Structure 1
Amino acid sequence: MSTAFRRVAVLGLGLIGGSLLQALRQLGSEIVGYDVDSAAAAAASASGYPVAPTDAAAVHGADLVVLAMPLPEVAAAVQSLAPHLSASAVLTDVGTLKQPVLSAVREAAPAATFVGGHPLAGVEETGWNAADPLLFRDAPWALTLEDDTSLDAWLRMAELVCDLGGRPVPTTAADQDAAVGRVIGLPHVLAEALALTGLAGGPLGLSLAAGSYMSGSRVARTPPELVTTWCDGNPALVDALDDAIAHLTGARTALAAGESVFPLARRGHAARTNWERRRFEPVELVPSVEALRALGRAGGWVTAVLRDDDGHRLLGMRPV
């Protein structure tokens, strides 16, 4: 049983929220779910999970409240539940972009103890029926650490993520959004472009489409409404697109001149293989904002939160 939190309310019962609710029950936590979508709430209830009739009822007595609804719904949800939050409760979320959620919480619930979260564990399927309690195993899970973030609350969240099998990655909201613009937003935009470009080639091209096309366009199967919430409002995606367009323009220029794309292929191959071959070493940290941010920016993560007579100690992994 996880000791980080006694009672957890999960608001939003789609893929991530539903998976979290199921995983928390496997840990032995006291849980309750809520969803404004009556069909999602009914599906969770029919599966044997407790579902509250209102957000106020869900968060009552909870020491952890998880916002798991789509980003456009977050601001209204925070405003609605803020009067019902316990003063000692920790508020977190699971959204892809962190700065918009941080702004919404600071505006509507400035007294809340907030730790932004982003489990990088999504799949193309959505909804309660796609939920999987094992979804978070070995998945990176960004946990934001701003200058005014409670370190104790952050450590409790990191402990819970470790209990779920995830890898807590300390970061700021700004750094997280800049990173996901390149590794989430950009791949989705490129996948959409590839799907359309392949379609424009006609039936023959699509009949010959194999691994490269299928792998490259796979995430284009994601519902468009979700893709927009991961991309819109993230200025870092513009910089990422500029970089990608520069690479594509270079390849086009070379081909138009009768030259080779080999330089791009060589550099891309090296980037991908070097990423796969990264090595890590264990590290022990006395937790502080500076040490945790440095670990995250270096590409490391937390593996355990230990408690002893001297306070907390962290075990983690960092690249070498």
Structure 2
Amino acid sequence: MPDSFDRIAVLGLGLIGGSIVQALARGGYQVSGYDPDPVEAAAARGTGYTVAASAAEAVADAELIVLAMPLPHLEGALIAIDHAVAPGTVVTDVGTLKEPVLQAVRRRLPGVRFVGGHPLAGTEQSGFLAGDPLLFRDAPWALTLEPDTDLQAWLSLAVLLCDLGAKPVPTTAAEQDAAIARVIGLPHMLAEALALTGLRGGELGLSLAAGSYTSGSRVARTRPELVATWCDGNPAMVSALDDVIAWLSAGRDALAAGSTVLPLAEAGHRARMDWENREFDPVDLPADAETLRQHGREGGWITAVIEKDGPKIGELRLLGMRPVR
């Protein structure tokens, strides 16, 4: 079976990192956290969690290191721990974009076994005290599987994530970032634009704002610097914006010509309902990297790693779910 992690270090104790610490502790794992922000560190320590005095102290003897800081702080964190991380240590992260993290870890920690991660969970709140140990239940969690990724490390993380109630999705960094542009970056940019457009309607419009405006602009409450890190440096954002601008332009042109936005409304309604009403079938998968990547491309995720034919990697089987075609 894949290795288990007896000692885990989480660097960054905001909403996601803090929720991971709480979920791991709840699951019986030995976990130590660290955050350079004294407020977040004190919040974690004050609620009974182990918080190290430095990043290097947190990762000492850790079998798994979780990088949970914002992308602009990643480079500094890697420099702070590079002398304290043993070769072969499994390292993962929770960042929205995977390519920049992959390149930074390869540059700063070349001896580790890195598996990029991105939990698709969270709220517009921030900070350790906003954390929730159940945040990842039934949440997709992108888990990157590059040609040079250590499969043993990947499988070990998949087991851990399933234990937390998450749904590991095999993917590559590039494919993940392209997909995320459309379902994370773009919705946030649209929310910002909607908030600004509503404001230009004057006080009457804001007084009449109801569910549509409130729901559509909700994530504009997210810290702006985080939104920027989710969009900046991702070339796939450009094509995503091109698509939405084309749809909006078609609707605008129809109205300007005295026609109707019904085609746009029908197409959008159909797309949303098709997504909501997808059905899934269970599948049995070999512990093979390309098979797992294809499973992720097809919208599937992992539910368990089991010994079906034996304990070696080639004898393991993965149970998963995949959309019905």
CA distance in 1, matches of 2:179, 2:71: 18
Q: Which amino acid counterpart does residue 257 of structure 1 have in structure 2?
A: A
Q: Within 1, Cα distance between the matches of 2:79 and 2:168?
A: 27
Per-residue CA deviation, residues 166-225 of structure 1 (Å, 9 max, x unaligned), is 000000000000000000000000000000000100011111111111111010010101
Q: Deviations over 1:21-61 (max 9, x none)?
A: 00000110111000111111111111111110011110001
Shift, 1:274, TM fit: 0.4
Match of 2:61 in 1: 61
Q: Output the CA distance in 2 between the equivalents of 1:252 and 1:154.
A: 47
Amino acid at match of 2:125: E
By how many angstroms is 1:4 displaced? Answer: 2.5
Residues in 2 aligned to 1:82 and 1:241: alpha-carbon distance in whole angstroms: 38
SS in 2 for 1:69: coil
- The aligned counterpart of 1:313 is 317
State the aligned residue count: 319
Q: Percent identity?
A: 64
C-alpha separation in 2, matches of 1:307 and 1:64: 23
2:178 is equivalent to residue 174 of structure 1: no
- Alpha-carbon separation, structure 1, partners of 2:184 and 2:103: 21
The AA in structure 2 aligned to 1:226 is: L
Are 2:98 and 2:177, in contact at CA under 8 Å, matched by a contact in 1? yes
Partner Cα distance (1:228, 1:54) in 2? 28
> SS of the counterpart of 1:194?
helix
In structure 1, the partner of 2:189 is 189
Question: Partner residue of 1:95?
Answer: 95
Counterparts of residues 1-320 of structure 1 (less than 5 Å) = 4-308=4-308, 309-311=310-312, 312-320=316-324
Deviation at 1:92, TM superposition (A): 0.3
Per-residue Cα deviation, 1:74-127 (whole angstroms, up to 9, x for no partner): 112112212211223100000000000001001111111100000010100000
Cα offset for 1:310? 4.9
Structure 1 Cα separation of the partners of residues 138 and 3 of structure 2 = 20
The offset of 1:149, in angstroms, is 0.1
Q: Distance in 2 between matches of 1:104 and 1:75?
A: 7
Q: Distance in 2 between matches of 1:96 and 1:266?
A: 31
Q: Say what the alpha-carbon RMSD is for the aligned residues.
A: 1.1
Q: How far 1:140 moved relative to its partner?
A: 0.3
Flag as ranges the 4+ runs of structure 1 deviating above 6 A.
none
Question: Taking structure 1 as the reference length, what is the TM-score of the superposition?
Answer: 0.98
Q: How many Å apart are 1:3 and its aligned residue?
A: 7.1
Per-residue CA distance 1:250-308 (angstroms, 9 max, x = gap): 11100000000011111111100001111110001111111100100000000001135
| 1:315 partner letter | L
Q: 1:310 and 1:45, CA in 2 relative to 1: closer, same or farther beyond 3 A? A: closer
Structure 2 contact 3–152 (Cα < 8 Å) conserved: no
Distance 2:151 2:79 in 1: 24
Residues in 2 aligned to 1:85 and 1:8: alpha-carbon distance in whole angstroms: 12
Matched to 1:314, the amino acid is: L
Amino acid at match of 1:153: A
Distance in 2 (CA, whole Å) between partners of 1:187 and 1:47 is 34
Show structure 2 runs of 5+ residues with no match.
Answer: none
Structure 1 residues 7-27: Cα deviation after superposition (integer angstroms, max 9, x where no partner): 000000000000000000011
Cα distance in 2 between the residues matched to 1:111 and 1:9? 17
TM-score norm. by structure 2 comes to 0.96
CA distance in 1, matches of 2:26, 2:11: 18
